[in-house]
């Protein structure tokens, strides 16, 4: 059976991003590599390994590039949480940026929140009891 393995995002400072995703978001650094010939470094972070069915995030640092144009096509990364309210409190306490406080989605019942990583990528937190139902 096919599965989503990872989503790749480009970051301006690999160590800062690893720190955010591990210390603020609670993920594990799964593996890291460098390619000196093509001048890039990769770090894979997630809650578990792809071999166990988990999707992970590939952080790509292109040496010497500190900022990217975010564009308008990418939306967000979604993470299911047991309790988005306490999770947002923990993220804020760890220095993370909560950009939308937890609560019901506009016009619906699904409880969501948004946080932002150091490069400006949006991360949606969805209360797990409603994560599989879709927004509404």
From the candidates 58, 81, 111, 124, give the one annotated as an active-site residue.
Answer: 124
Question: What is the band of 136 on the pLDDT scale with cuts at 50, 70, 90?
Answer: low
Residue in the block written with tokens 């894979």: 44
Catalytic site residue 111? Answer: no
Query: At 131, is the pLDDT very low, low, confident or very high (cuts 50, 70, 90)?
Result: low
What confidence tens digit (pLDDT) does each residue in 3-50 have? 889 999 999 999 999 999 999 999 999 999 999 999 999 999 999 999
Residue 79 has pLDDT above 80, yes or no: yes
Which pLDDT band holds residue 86 (cuts at 50, 70, 90)? very high
Q: Which helix (H) or strand (E) holds 48?
A: none
d(CA 115, CA 104): 15
Count the residues in the chain.
Answer: 136
Measured distance CA(69)–CA(47) in Å, rounded:
28
């Amino acid at each position: 059976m096919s599965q989503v393995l990872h989503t790749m995002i480009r970051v301006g400072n690999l160590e800062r991003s690893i720190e955010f995703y591990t210390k603020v978001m609670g993920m594990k650094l799964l593996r890291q590599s460098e390619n000196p010939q093509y001048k890039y470094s990769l770090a894979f972070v997630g809650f578990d390994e792809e071999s166990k069915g988990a999707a992970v995030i590939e952080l790509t640092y292109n040496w010497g590039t500190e900022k990217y144009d975010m564009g308008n096509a990418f939306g967000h990364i979604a993470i299911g949480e047991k309790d988005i309210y306490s999770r947002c409190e923990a993220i804020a306490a760890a220095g993370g940026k909560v950009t939308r406080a937890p609560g019901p989605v506009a016009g619906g019942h699904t409880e969501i929140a948004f946080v932002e990583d150091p490069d400006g990528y949006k991360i949606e937190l969805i209360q797990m009891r409603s994560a599989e139902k879709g927004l509404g």
